[in-house]
Amino acid sequence: MSRLIGVVGMPGAGKDTFCDYFSDVKNSVEILKFSDPLSEILRIFFDEVKREDQQWLVNNLRERFGKDILAKAIEKKVKSSESDYILLNGVRLWEDFEMVKRLGGEMVYIKTDAEKRWKRLKKRGEKKDDDVSFEKFLKLDNGRTEKNIREIGKGSDVTIENNGSLDEFKDKIVDIYE
């Protein structure tokens, strides 16, 4: 059975960096993102993916098929994985958190100041709406899909403060998992 680790944090907190670095230092790691199915759907229709569109899509899917629709999809992938570690990047709902716990996983909360996250997202430019004003960023931060993140973080097994340098963040990851 794989070791399951759910990763929660606000956009730009360092979830992707955590997952990428973890997979660099450990063997047999599979990274699954709750947002991947949403991005795949949106890319069928549009060249660029916006966080705002992902939020709209997931809200409509959840209204139609239930709040746990993404957790169900991810659980199927977890159960079929042969990797030693499975990282679930982007836990956002209590249903996702409960699925991780039910499957015997642990939760890692990556906590980062809002201004630092905003600057990271602007620099990263992964989604079309990453380059927005700080005010718009804060509005997106309070979207329906983001509202549970901080509370879920409080219930996590491990909290990592990520307000320093990349090397400091990597050292914290190593300290926890070595």
Query: Does 81 reside within a domain?
Result: yes
What is the predicted pLDDT for the residue at 111?
96
Mean pLDDT, residues 77-105 taken together: 93
What is the predicted pLDDT for the residue at 126?
65
Are 37 and 73 contacting, i.e. CB atoms less than 8 angstroms apart?
yes
Return the axis-axis angle of helices 166-177 and 15-25, rounded to nearest 10°. 60
Number of structural domains the chain divides into: 1
Domain that holds residue 121: 3-163
User: Residue 128 — pLDDT band, cuts 50, 70, 90?
Assistant: low
Percent of the chain scoring above 70 in pLDDT:
95
Query: Does 49 reside within a domain?
Result: yes
Rg of the chain over Cα atoms, rounded to whole angstroms, equals: 16
Query: Does 177 reside within a domain?
Result: no
Mean pLDDT, residues 136-165 taken together: 88
Query: Does 173 reside within a domain?
Result: no
Of 37 and 98, more confident: 98
Domain CATH number, residue 30: 3.40.50.300
pTM to 2 decimal places? 0.84
User: What whole-number distance in Å separates Cα of residue 17 and Cα of residue 123?
Assistant: 14
What is the predicted pLDDT for the residue at 147?
82
Cβ neighbourhood burial of 41 (10 Å; 0-12, 13-18, 19+): middle
